[in-house]
Structure 1
Amino acid sequence: MIDTFIGFDPWLQALIATLFTWIMTGVGAAVVFLTKEVNEKFLDMMLGFAGGVMIAASFWSLLAPAIENSQDHSIGEWFPAAVGFLLGGLFIYAFDKLIPHTHRDGPDGRKEGLGAEGQRRSTLLVFSITLHNIPEGLAIGIAFGALASNADPMAVAVGATTLALGIGIQNVPEGMAVSMPLRGEGMSRTKSFFFGWMSGIVEPIAAVIGILAISFMSPILPYALALAAGAMLFVVVEEVIPSTQKNGHSDLAVICLMLGFTLMMILDVALG
């Protein structure tokens, strides 16, 4: 089956992989049909787990390959990874200032981004998770885009598939992080599920953008891989981890973060 998958064009592989991650977002959002109330403890644990997966993926699936693909760089193999990583953080920082959104359990209901004050909180919650999904989709697209410029397509395809699997797993709590608060604000279960699921639709779009960029500018591959890593880590440190530390469940959230990191590390090392 993996041989058949590898036989597809890289853009189609990336599209299939991100459709899987989008479906997993829907799986998480569907939890709203099973419970009446937001279980903050469980949500903090799951978001901690998601943060661990994202941190591990940033290194094992993105930064390490960026360094490996820069062995012949004139300045040093560290240069593309360092530059791309910092640009990734700046990329999400700019989006964070432009896109109207609010953070779960943010201080005093603070709203951020252009025009945020005129938006409903439910809309801003959806935009917040949508912002998270942009670097994840880019990461998958860039990872599969590496197939065209790598001498070992099987290894790259397995590594990219592992990345998609890890992101799919951590998308479950991200879907919950949208649908459950929306339900808590009085929105119907169906609408809460719909908006929770739709928050992940940007992943396939971002993946196609990522793979197109690599297809036309293959020399930027190490920079692009590191950029995706920097963007993902910015999201984890700026939003995911802080949101798990405000409801008295910080120790459990950290334990789950370590479990998520360990799982993603095992998947990437064992399969990639």
Structure 2
Amino acid sequence: MEKITAFVTEIGPVYAALLATIFTWLVTAAGASLVFFFKKMHRGLLDAMLGFTGGVMVAASFWSLLNPSIEMSERMFPSAPWFPAAVGFLAGGFFIFALDKYLPHLHINFTDEETEGVQTQWRRSTLLILAITLHNIPEGLAVGVLFGAAAQGMPDATIAGAITLAIGIGIQNFPEGFAVAMPLRRHGVSRFKSFWYGQLSAIVEPIAGVLGAVAVIYMQPVLPFALAFAAGAMIYVVVEEVIPETQRDKYTDLAVMGFMGGFTVMMILDVALG
């Protein structure tokens, strides 16, 4: 970890955020590539993988984002240390709420009649991809913001912590890529197109990561707000999208165990490495 930290320090936070989110994107592609080897996926496995994704996101939201935000606020805003974390957290949720209301999309386990956002005649496959793209925005943003915060020398936001977050997001992106590609394949999309669209859903992560890193580097006072913003966005996605998708069949227990497994993995990573 020390060599990786030294390398990240040398190349700078923006480039590091770009590389880290390219890594998470490639892991998504690796998960999507499983569509070349399997014809279908058991619904219980899909629910467990989605639950795992949710667990990682919730754990990362607290240990990697909200907790550093609160600790920074105690020094930067001693009269109201709760204010930046609370405002940023709510703002992140409202940001995804607005995108959710206007961006046409369809969650993985939902029917065509449950399309969200503005009405459109776009294909089901396009709507599925947009749903996961919406999901990936806060993930990339979280990684970029944490790298930018670490670059400011804040003791509560470290490069090791940013790397740990990227690893955690990458781990949960693998089953996520598979969970996107397989439903597309099930709905008649070719194997290659299912893979292509599955990995394409995560291309927004490098974009969001770079934007997040640049924003906090040049606007240091917003650091605790930005960290909490990313946490709020991720929590909104988990509660509004990920968890409901896992509760629509008879495999809810598997989804809960997957959630607990993902939460535990991210907690261990953050405590051990971050």
Calculate the TM-score normalised by the size of structure 2.
0.95
| 1:105-134 CA distance string (max 9 Å, x none) | 2256311112x4311111000000000000
2:130 paired with 1:101: no
Tell me the residue number matched to 1:6.
9
Counterpart selection for 1:46 from 23, 45, 49: 49
Counterpart selection for 1:228 from 213, 227, 230: 230
2:80 paired with 1:76: yes
Pairwise CA distance, 1:147: 2.2
CA distance, structure 2, for counterparts of residue 11 and residue 69 of structure 1 = 21
Tell me the residue number matched to 1:266.
268
2:125 paired with 1:122: yes
2:116 paired with 1:90: no
Counterpart selection for 2:240 from 228, 238, 243: 238
CA distance, structure 2, for counterparts of residue 109 and residue 168 of structure 1 = 32
CA distance, structure 2, for counterparts of residue 21 and residue 255 of structure 1 = 23
Tell me the residue number matched to 1:144.
147
2:133 paired with 1:134: no
CA distance, structure 2, for counterparts of residue 75 and residue 112 of structure 1 = 41
Identity across matched positions, percent: 59
Pairwise CA distance, 1:75: 3.6
| 1:112-168 CA distance string (max 9 Å, x none) | 112x43111110000000000000010001000012322559x70000000000000
Amino acid at match of 1:196: G
Counterpart selection for 1:212 from 211, 214, 220: 214
Counterpart selection for 1:164 from 163, 166, 170: 166
On the 8 A contact 2:12/2:151 being kept in 1, the answer is: no
- SS of residue in 2 equivalent to 1:247: coil
Amino acid at match of 2:237: V
- SS of residue in 2 equivalent to 1:100: coil
- SS of residue in 2 equivalent to 1:95: helix
Amino acid at match of 1:117: T
Alignment length (residue pairs): 270
CA distance, structure 1, for counterparts of residue 54 and residue 147 of structure 2 = 22
**Please, which runs of 5 or more residues in structure 2 have no aligned partner?**
none
On the 8 A contact 1:111/1:117 being kept in 2, the answer is: no
CA distance, structure 1, for counterparts of residue 10 and residue 125 of structure 2 = 42
Pairwise CA distance, 1:244: 0.8
**Please, which runs of 5 or more residues in structure 1 have no aligned partner?**
none
Amino acid at match of 2:128: L
| 1:208-251 CA distance string (max 9 Å, x none) | 11111112211000000000000000000001011011121101
Calculate the TM-score normalised by the size of structure 1.
0.96
CA distance, structure 2, for counterparts of residue 265 and residue 139 of structure 1 = 16
CA distance, structure 2, for counterparts of residue 109 and residue 22 of structure 1 = 30
Amino acid at match of 1:88: G
State the superposition RMSD in angstroms: 1.4
On the 8 A contact 2:57/2:169 being kept in 1, the answer is: yes
2:117 paired with 1:113: yes
Tell me the residue number matched to 2:29.
26
Distance 1:199 1:144, change over 3 A: same
